[in-house]
Structure 1
């Protein structure tokens, strides 16, 4: 059976909606811990368990930890950035890790929020930089910041990750989604942490999100319990037109040795505001099943979208159709 994961958020924050999602075919949920702590979400976790139990489902509960991704700090308010606008990064501006200033120079492009926003540095010093917005939008706290021109080494686990992993071990979490896995060592570090917490039964879902993950895929496959083809950041690491081929390659290498893998990101993105998906989206899901995916996941579609139950229903029906077709081959 292919697992269907929905991401928790405001659109599915009540038990009735969660129950309907489980009835429609959802088998598990994802809680994103980029902006909050697991301890602050235990009421939601208990609500998930209650909703699932009422329809006879034993839910898989995954937490997506912070990991080594570089992020901006906390903003007082959301920032509306417009193309051509000059912004300050660092001192008296957008808060960032100080190591950024050791790696930037005029002309470098900075990408925010998985590349949704971008700005080009015009000048910089030891603790701040000026940049001109190239691609505008709304910038929120704790969103990612990256560049193709630098690679800042961050620790495998943050202080918040250590706290959240201990909490996960104590509250029935079934899996940890580990972001930006760079090699076997990252997964081994998380596994050791789980062992230290007495949580050897928690599965590790290693997210492949950049070229380092692609390059070390074979060792990551060996160490992890499941691979996640995380197409959001992966689509920034490689040209978008190459992304389908990269996905196929990862899927093929997992299938070859029997390692489960998950496909995630924008699977039904149009359904954040539409009750029906596009033809391309259902084809995407259908092909993920044909490629051997063991699970699929939606993110904003259920977290903030207008039709969370319909999203799960379309996901389930498309999977059933693809499995039926696959059995004829």
Structure 2
């Protein structure tokens, strides 16, 4: 049984890492969603020293950024409560310091920054079509005489990836930070508009689907209502169920990190949101091109597409990862237990090793003893045939990283004893 921790502020010192290795940890994960491989050279140095001190060789696994959706930027309140309003933007959040004056020919700017704007009928506001909905905006007499401000009720302004922004429709639900936080997209309202460029509807010659998704001509906030409160922060995961969003399998940041994998001592790679065998083959080609063909690939199953194409993913990857955080966010919590059982069964059928991860000992981020439910969860994962288990926040930011690793070892060993 392989047991993994996750690097973080709570477990980055040599002495603690050495004791975690003595407690049964066989490898550690470095999450690259929030930074690059060489961002913490002291962590990598301490990891090597810990192995020397404990006399154990352990795995250094990097978890790539990949085709994932995360909060880009956040301004305002981060701890959100049910019923509050949040404004979403494509990419970075613009300055919210004052009203803007609207001109179809110019990028909208705070009034204090506007100079020599053209006037005339070409600058009038016209009907704006957003996300397939016709939102009526009144024509005004002269350019720039209409002022638009951010929704006065919004407590938070959140930047999200542009492909996700383009895919949003009113009534959809967004799940943030492994579905801790849930938002509902509200219908566009004039009071929420924040145009950045021309207000004209895309030309009629464009295909309807392209027209509905083409927001290059306008950038404004979409208001959401908080249905389930929680904490939002830059880098937290976002899920939109039932919608395909085109994203690169490997990002430029991933390629850069792979270029430094050898010098960092990386021995394995976790690939997020794997949806088909070709996704894995693409990563394997990148590894081979850098002389890293021996690195094991752990393919993370995190959505319905990954489940549907599991057979070809198993054929291409070295290990399968049941990544329950994003998987639960994307397919729904109620479907997660059955999905874990199905993936485990299919892996056992072809003798493909698999890992179970996410919230195995979540309570131990704050408490020194796990819950009974967590003990049962780990027992079930082991009896389902898991070849490896991984702790994430429990060791990365938790108060009891060493104790959590000891409990994981003890529960896994006890669960493996045959009746």
TM-score, length-normalised on structure 2? 0.74
Aligned to 2:386: 293
Aligned to 1:42: 41
Q: Which has the higher helix share?
A: 1
Partner SS for 1:12: coil
Matched, 1:104 2:104: no
Aligned to 1:30: 29
Partners of 2:372 and 2:178 lie apart in 1 by: 25
Aligned to 1:53: 52
After superposition, where does 1:101-140 map in structure 2 within 5 Å? Answer: 101-124=165-188, 126=215, 127=219, 128-140=221-233
Change (3 A) 1:300 1:227: same
Tell me, yes or no, if the aligned pair for 2:64 and 2:269 is still in contact at 8 Å. Answer: yes
Q: Which runs of 5+ in 1 are unaligned?
A: none
Q: Looking at CA atoms only, which structure, 1 or 2, has the larger radius of gyration?
A: 2
Given candidates 159, 167, 178, the residue that maps to 1:95 is 159
Change (3 A) 1:316 1:78: farther
Matched, 1:169 2:254: no
TM-score, length-normalised on structure 1? 0.94
Tell me, yes or no, if the aligned pair for 1:204 and 1:226 is still in contact at 8 Å. Answer: yes
* Equivalences, count: 325
Aligned to 1:306: 399
Tell me, yes or no, if the aligned pair for 2:75 and 2:158 is still in contact at 8 Å. Answer: no
How far is 1:265 from its partner? 0.7
Partner SS for 1:312: helix
Question: RMSD in angstroms over aligned alpha carbons?
Answer: 1.6
Given candidates 335, 354, 361, the residue that maps to 1:261 is 354
How far is 1:76 from its partner? 5.8
Matched, 1:277 2:370: yes
Aligned to 2:66: 67
How far is 1:144 from its partner? 2.0
Partners of 1:279 and 1:98 lie apart in 2 by: 42
Matched, 1:159 2:252: yes
Partners of 1:273 and 1:37 lie apart in 2 by: 28
How far is 1:150 from its partner? 2.3
Matched, 1:319 2:318: no
Partners of 1:29 and 1:21 lie apart in 2 by: 10
Tell me, yes or no, if the aligned pair for 1:169 and 1:194 is still in contact at 8 Å. Answer: no
Partners of 2:360 and 2:271 lie apart in 1 by: 20
Tell me, yes or no, if the aligned pair for 1:78 and 1:138 is still in contact at 8 Å. Answer: no
Partners of 1:39 and 1:78 lie apart in 2 by: 31
Tell me, yes or no, if the aligned pair for 1:78 and 1:141 is still in contact at 8 Å. Answer: no
Aligned to 2:101: none
Q: Which runs of 5+ in 2 are unaligned?
A: 95-156, 194-214
Partners of 2:47 and 2:306 lie apart in 1 by: 32
Partner SS for 2:46: helix
